[in-house]
């Protein structure tokens, strides 16, 4: 466990905590921001449902997963009733979405990403200046966003550290899938895995809790079940409330875990099992150095787009962050952080 050996001196821990809390206050998605997103959603819903009356348009990603900032992009998904139709016609559906967006005055189509695992239409909502994308029938993404939300709701430290983690990685320019970095989603999974493996875990493994008593929810051959009743976690998780570490300790623990403890060469980051998962056991030997298993679609490696060079760049960045935050964080350094924020 890494929970006990991060006893930074008291004043440093206080400073780190203060910076993280300030970052959270400035960045977190508030109710007001969420309502703006719901408005944008309903503006798109009407014309799209005219074409596909049985469809649903839903938010996913950080607009709903608890790790959102007021400037996060808006991830939307068009869920069609007729799965079979969609499966064979994704590109046709997306091209209709694109045409619809072209007609709407408040929206600007930025790009149609045709040749991706999940084709998306990228747009900008001009009045709010928010970017977004629409995909079709991304059921797994909707589901994992809800599960991430459950994790974020379990303990307030998760969101505070989560937003700071995302922020630091963006500042260091390693968190952007488009620029050959790792997606925010990948970094969020890394964070959850860290909280789960602590000697006194901050987070349980929701896909394992009460697994015996709940039935599988199958989709495309994958099980989507997890324990989502986080208000009653006390009754089913013996580790509940046992981790009392400060924000500063947990933050340093996170940086040290991925710099000193986790073996990237041989292991896969997973949030669905407590036992360590080796690359060998998944036949992921030639996969990316940073390999992250998608929690539901666990044949999918969220880090698969990373070259070895870019994986190493990320690990070096985490190491550098560790060195910065482990060194005496005095009030002068705090002022520098405050300038960043
Ligand atoms: P920000 O937009 O940076 O605030 O974070 P985010 O959590 O919305 O992440 P991002 O926009 O990168 O991804 C949006 C959603 O896509 C995630 O929350 C997942 O539900 C889903 N997703 C599923 N698999 C993948 C994957 O392999 N890569 C990415 N990028 N997203 C995935
Ligand atoms: Mg997003």
pLDDT 10s digits, 37-48: 999 999 999 999
Which pTM value belongs to this model?
0.94
For ligand 2, a single-atom ion, the residues with CB < 5 A are 61-62, 73, 75
Q: How many CB atoms lie within 10 A of CB 245?
A: 20
Dig out the tokens for 39 from the structure: 């408005």
The CA 117 to ligand 1 mean position distance, Å, reads 13
Q: What is the structure's pLDDT at 300?
A: 94
Q: For ligand 1, atom 31, which residue shows the shortest CA distance?
A: 185
**Res 337 pLDDT > 70:** no
Q: Is 177 in the pocket of ligand 1 (CB under 6 A)?
A: yes
Name which of 87, 121, 84, 146 is nearest 295 in CA terms. 146
For the stretch 210-235, pLDDT in tens is 777 778 888 888 999 999 999 999 99
Q: What is the structure's pLDDT at 1?
A: 39
317 close to 185: Cβ distance less than 8 angstroms: no
Average pLDDT over residues 253-264: 98
Q: How many CB atoms lie within 10 A of CB 86?
A: 18
Could you tell me the CA-to-CA distances from 162 to 21, 43, 96, 189, 329 in Å, in that order? 11, 30, 36, 10, 20
Dig out the tokens for 261 from the structure: 């403890």
Q: For ligand 1, atom 3, which residue shows the shortest CA distance?
A: 184
The CA 8 to ligand 2 mean position distance, Å, reads 33
Average pLDDT over the chain reads: 91
Q: Is 196 in the pocket of ligand 1 (CB under 6 A)?
A: no
Place of tokens 């060195």: 323
Name which of 205, 207, 212, 213 is nearest 226 in CA terms. 207
DSSP 130-197: EEEEEEE--HHHHHHHHHHHHHHHH-HHHHHHHHHHHHHHHHTT---GGGTS--HHHHHHHHHHHHHH
Q: What is the structure's pLDDT at 336?
A: 63
Q: Is 185 in the pocket of ligand 1 (CB under 6 A)?
A: yes
Dig out the tokens for 224 from the structure: 């989507």
Domains identified in the chain and CATH numbers? 10-27+155-340 (1.10.1410.10), 31-141 (3.30.460.10)
For the stretch 273-288, pLDDT in tens is 989 999 999 999 888 9
298 close to 223: Cβ distance less than 8 angstroms: no
Q: Which atom of ligand 1 is nearest to the CA of 63?
A: 8
Average pLDDT over residues 321-336: 71
Q: Is 230 in the pocket of ligand 1 (CB under 6 A)?
A: no
Which percentage of the chain shows pLDDT scores above 70? Answer: 92
The closest ligand to the CA of 288 turns out to be 1
Could you tell me the CA-to-CA distances from 91 to 59, 110, 225 in Å, in that order? 20, 17, 29
- Ligand 1 test: best mutation among 28, 34, 61, most atoms within 8 Å of CB? 61
Dig out the tokens for 172 from the structure: 């260091």
Q: How far apart are CA 289 and CA 305, in angstroms?
A: 11
- Place 2 in a pLDDT band, splitting at 50, 70 and 90: very low
Alpha-helical (H) ranges within the chain are 10-27, 31-51, 83-103, 139-154, 156-171, 184-197, 233-236, 247-256, 279-282, 308-326, 331-340
Q: What is the structure's pLDDT at 330?
A: 58
The closest ligand to the CA of 301 turns out to be 1
Q: What is the structure's pLDDT at 13?
A: 79
Among 86-100, 292-306, 311-325, the minimum mean pLDDT is found in: 86-100
The closest ligand to the CA of 67 turns out to be 1
């Amino acid at each position: 466990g890494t929970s006990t050996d991060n006893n930074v001196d008291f004043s440093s821990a206080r400073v780190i905590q203060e910076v993280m809390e300030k970052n959270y206050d400035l960045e977190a998605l508030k109710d007001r921001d969420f309502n703006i997103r719901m408005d944008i959603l309903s503006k798109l819903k009407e014309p799209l449902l005219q074409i596909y009356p049985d469809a649903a348009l839903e938010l996913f990603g950080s607009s709903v997963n608890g790790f959102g900032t007021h400037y996060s992009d808006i991830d939307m998904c068009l869920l069609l009733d007729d799965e079979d139709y969609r499966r064979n016609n994704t590109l046709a559906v997306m091209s209709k979405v694109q045409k619809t967006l072209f007609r709407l005055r408040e929206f600007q189509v930025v790009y149609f990403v045709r040749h991706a695992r999940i084709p998306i239409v990228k747009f900008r909502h001009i009045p709010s200046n928010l970017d977004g994308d629409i995909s079709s029938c991304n059921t797994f993404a909707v589901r994992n966003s809800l599960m991430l939300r459950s994790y974020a709701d379990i303990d307030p430290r998760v969101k505070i550290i989560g937003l700071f983690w995302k922020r630091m990685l963006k500042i260091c320019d390693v968190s952007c899938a488009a620029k050959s970095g790792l997606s925010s989603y990948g970094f969020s999974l890394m964070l959850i895995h860290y909280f789960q493996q602590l000697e006194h875990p901050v987070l349980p493994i929701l896909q394992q809790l009460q697994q015996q008593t709940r039935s599988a929810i199958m989709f495309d051959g994958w099980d989507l079940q997890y324990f989502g009743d986080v208000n009653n976690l006390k009754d089913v998780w013996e580790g509940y409330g046992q981790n009392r570490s400060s924000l500063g300790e947990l933050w340093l623990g996170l940086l040290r875990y991925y710099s000193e403890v986790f073996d990237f060469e041989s292991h896969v980051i997973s949030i669905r099992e407590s036992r360590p998962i080796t690359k060998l056991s998944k036949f992921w030997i030639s996969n990316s150095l940073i390999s992250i298993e998608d929690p539901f679609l666990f044949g999918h490696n969220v880090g698969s787009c990373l070259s070895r060079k870019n994986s190493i760049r990320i690990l070096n960045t985490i190491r550098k962050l560790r060195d910065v935050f482990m060194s005496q964080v005095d009030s002068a350094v705090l002022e520098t952080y405050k300038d960043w924020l």
